[in-house]
Amino acid sequence: MTEEVVEPVIRIDHRGPLHGTVRVPGAKNSVLKLMAATVLADGEFNLDNVPEIVDVDIMSDLLRSIGSQVDTGSDGSLRITHSGELSTSVPADLAGRMRASINLLGPLVSRVGKIEIALPGGDDFGLRPIDMHIAGLEAMGATCTFTDGVLTVNAPRLVGADIRFSFPSVGATENLVTAAVCADGVTTIDGAAREPEVADLCRFLVAMGAHIEGIGESTLRITGVPHGALHSASHRVVPDRIQAATYIASVAVAGGEVDMIDAQRNDMQMFLHRCTEMGLV
């Protein structure tokens, strides 16, 4: 007898149009990468507009597990402090709970020269291999091995490289940019992802002292700086365009009028163009 698998269901009962005002929180696909990138330097980092989601809690636990201090404010803020040595081993039970755990790869390899991390978990949208992450790190001088579900990367010294992507991978772009900011020489990434969240990460790295050209474009040029040149920074997480689009779709279905605070039109131009064609906005 086959056991029935019951999927989680959210049921919303509502009749009639939607009205009111909502605030768009910081993007999940940005804040997790920003949190990981803080590993690159010592000091106290302050992030604002942080969404209240489980993944932020998991990433906070991941950072604590390698020796960082993370404090959550009641006003949507997050304070992350790094000092001294950090562990090179990421606990498998935490890494396996979230896809974004792989974003510790670039920053930790850059700072410590080594990382051991289990393949990430999280949302299950298919195999989602990390081949491009590994190939890019190897081009920069790293040695990567995979044994019993654990990826080990050794890189006592990263060097700049010319990297060309076969498709614009967001995760690979983010990991290789963070790895390249302190590599010797210049790294170019051709075919880089151009998502607003990638640009948000790059702007944060620049605020930390990194040298990155071509932010928001398909070719990124990163000139490595000494680790001592990087420093702590404060940053406001870019609003979540996916959540904003979900609100728009909800009003489109139910009718009504809803004001969205902090929605970024520039980050949703194509979506809003289609909505305009349909007469929704």
Beta-bridge mates of residue 69? 81
Structure tokens at 216: 């928001």
Matching residue, tokens 């349909």: 278
Can you spell out the DSSP letters for 12-44? ----S-EEEEEE--B-HHHHHHHHHHGGGS-EE
Contact 169, 132 (CB under 8 A): yes
Residue among 197, 103, 193, 177 nearest 136 (CA): 177
Q: Give the CA diameter of the chain.
A: 63
Matching residue, tokens 């040149």: 229
Cα gap 62→226, rounded to integer Å = 26
Residue among 227, 116, 125 nearest 171 (CA): 125
Whole-angstrom CA distances from 65 to 11, 73, 87, 92 are 36, 20, 8, 11
- Altogether, the residues listed in the chain come to a count of 281
Exposed e or buried b for every residue in 90-104, given b needs 16+ CB within 10 A? bbbebbbbbbbbbbb
Contact 72, 213 (CB under 8 A): no
Amino acid at 31: V
Q: Enumerate the active-site residues.
A: 123
Integer-rounded Cα radius of gyration of the chain: 20
